[in-house]
Amino acid sequence: MAETQLENQLEKLGLHKNEIKIYLSLFELGKVKAGQIIEHTGLHRNLVYTALETLVEKNLVSKVERAGIFVFAANSPELLQEMIEAQSVLASEVVAELKKRQEEKPRDIIIYEGEEGLKRSRNHVLTYDPGDTLFVIGSKASSTPEMERYWRKFHQKRINKKIGLKIMYERGVDPEDIAWRNSLPMSQAKYLPIDIDLPVWFSAIKDYLEIGIPGDPLLTFGLKSKGAAGAIQKFFEYFWNQQVSTETGLPALKNAIYNMLNELEPGEEYFVLGASVGGGDEQVQKLYDNFHADRIKKGVVVNMLAFKEGFQKIMDRFSYCGDPMGKVSHAKAFMSAPPTPMQINIFKNKVFFIIYGSKPTVISFDQPEISQVFKNYFEEMWNQETQILKGAEALKDLWLEAIEAKELRWVGARGYFMDNYPELFKEIKAKAEKTPGIVWKNVMDLGFKGHLLTRLQWSQTRYNLSGARNPIVIWLFGDKVLIVNWAEKVPIIFLSTNKSLVQSYSDYFDELWNKK
């Protein structure tokens, strides 16, 4: 069999090119040191060591220490067949489990942007059956004349489809809006029983849940889940049928968070959706400082999805309150959503809302169904490995985060951001100048040699790209990979923390960087 054909077959069996080259070389060399493999294959030492470790893990290569030096040799080729058979068995088990989960919990989350995105999400309601009911809490979605025109058309189609509507509005909504919706067939509308200004809205029908966050851009999250939508409907009925009592003021906030802490044992955890630093009130700030110091001392775990504007302050609070290594304090930046003055705390079978204003307001629910829907939603967002962001401000925030990671690597960066947004870059440059030990490595083409990006004292550049222009720039820092599209002056950013994807692009960068 020709060498190329054998390599192709090994690649189809799941081995990577570097692994194949090193694996085959061991059949020629026998038992050898890593240095001999490096010399024989011509591969960079890092690539050889990485591939050898992977081959050892797969049991295709043996690693034996002799006089303090490791010697490598190819194991019996039959072990390759055993590896594939084991993978086949494992794949069958995984497929069976995934099918089971798909049948039990079909959840598809979609993020819609802008008013057109909201329309696409809400039009999904019209695919349901006559006799189904749409439940809506909050009214931020109907705040513009354009959307009011859309709602009138939507309601006509809904009525024709014989789909019901029950909606609750904040107290500030014009009574005429409520009267108009009550005048429609199969429609009921009234005010929420609590006097608050909700920063989000919820809607649910059968197995579809919609959560909207006003802002620029307006964001709508659509979640296909019968359990989540059903829980929101129960949440709705709780409001619809009962007068809900609320507590306001600093004592109410203190009681809520410390009651939660008292109920949780060391090692147990709670979740915060939409975490912020708690507003600008000094008393609230001091309360949270004391609370987190007590929480950390007790060993209660927190998982926070925080708005990016307050993320660093939250991480700083964890540190100076006694948990600098993040042993019981975990947070992720919620990059794609604008900040709101409300956060949701979830623990055990309970949930409470904290609404920050001139005085904090706390709304508590001791209902497992309500707690579970927000826990499910939290987990969907927490486990989301990819995001799509847009705009110079988003890229600036990520660049500032990269400075904290010390090393930033690019493939194809040509200084577009610096050229198009010099004022934003000033902030980035100022932070970089004050951060010791940073390094920016860039693989680019010779056409941009001499650009300011190549002349910064912490920049290293290698001109190993062809002259062909590519609007895509790859960023690597920390545990993230960014694919930034500069087809327009406004960057579109694909962000991922998927480990395999990050490693793949990291290998690609290393290959280009070490190219002779």
Angle between helices 282-298 and 308-320 (to 10 degrees): 60
247-384: same fold as 109-241?
Answer: yes
DSSP string, 449-482: TT-HHHHSTTEEEE--S-S---SEEEEEETTEEE
CB 463 within 8 A of CB 447: no
pLDDT (average), residues 299-322 = 90
pLDDT in tens, 364-376: 877 787 888 888 8
| Distance between CA atoms of residues 199 and 208, nearest Å | 21
CB 455 within 8 A of CB 447: no
Amino acid letter at 342?
A: M
pLDDT at 391 over 60: yes
Confidence of residue 328 (pLDDT cuts 50, 70, 90): very high
Q: Output the pLDDT for position 335.
A: 56
pLDDT at 148 over 70: yes
Confidence of residue 104 (pLDDT cuts 50, 70, 90): very low
DSSP string, 386-402: EEEEESHHHHHHHHHHH
Q: Output the pLDDT for position 107.
A: 52
pLDDT in tens, 56-80: 888 888 888 877 888 999 888 888 8
| Distance between CA atoms of residues 64 and 73, nearest Å | 9
| Distance between CA atoms of residues 191 and 184, nearest Å | 17
pLDDT at 24 over 50: yes
In CATH terms, 3-80 corresponds, of 1.10.10.10, 1.10.730.10, 1.10.3720.10, 3.40.50.300, to 1.10.10.10
| Distance between CA atoms of residues 268 and 218, nearest Å | 35
According to CATH, what is the number of the domain 387-513? 3.30.870.10
| Distance between CA atoms of residues 374 and 235, nearest Å | 11
The pLDDT > 90 percentage for the chain reads 33
Q: In degrees rounded to 5, what are phi and psi of residue 487?
A: -65, -30
Confidence of residue 16 (pLDDT cuts 50, 70, 90): confident
176 or 129, which is more confident: 129
| Distance between CA atoms of residues 108 and 228, nearest Å | 12
Q: Which superfamily is assigned to 109-241 in CATH?
A: Endonuclease Chain A (3.30.870.10)
Q: Output the pLDDT for position 338.
A: 55
- Going from the C-alpha of 1 to that of each of 17, 82, 203, 253, the distances in angstroms are 18, 22, 63, 74
The pLDDT > 70 percentage for the chain reads 91
Angle between helices 17-29 and 45-57 (to 10 degrees): 80
| Distance between CA atoms of residues 270 and 261, nearest Å | 9
Residue ranges of domains in the chain = 3-80, 109-241, 247-384, 387-513
pLDDT (average), residues 18-41 = 90
Residue 140 DSSP one-character state: G
pLDDT in tens, 256-293: 899 889 889 999 999 998 876 666 678 999 999 999 99
CATH domain 247-384 topology: Endonuclease; Chain A (3.30.870)
- Going from the C-alpha of 480 to that of each of 193, 347, 466, the distances in angstroms are 44, 30, 25
pLDDT (average), residues 328-345 = 77
Cis ω before 106 (30° cut-off from 0): no
Of the candidate ranges 17-31, 91-105, 126-140, 311-325, the one whose mean pLDDT is the lowest: 91-105
Residue 405 DSSP one-character state: T
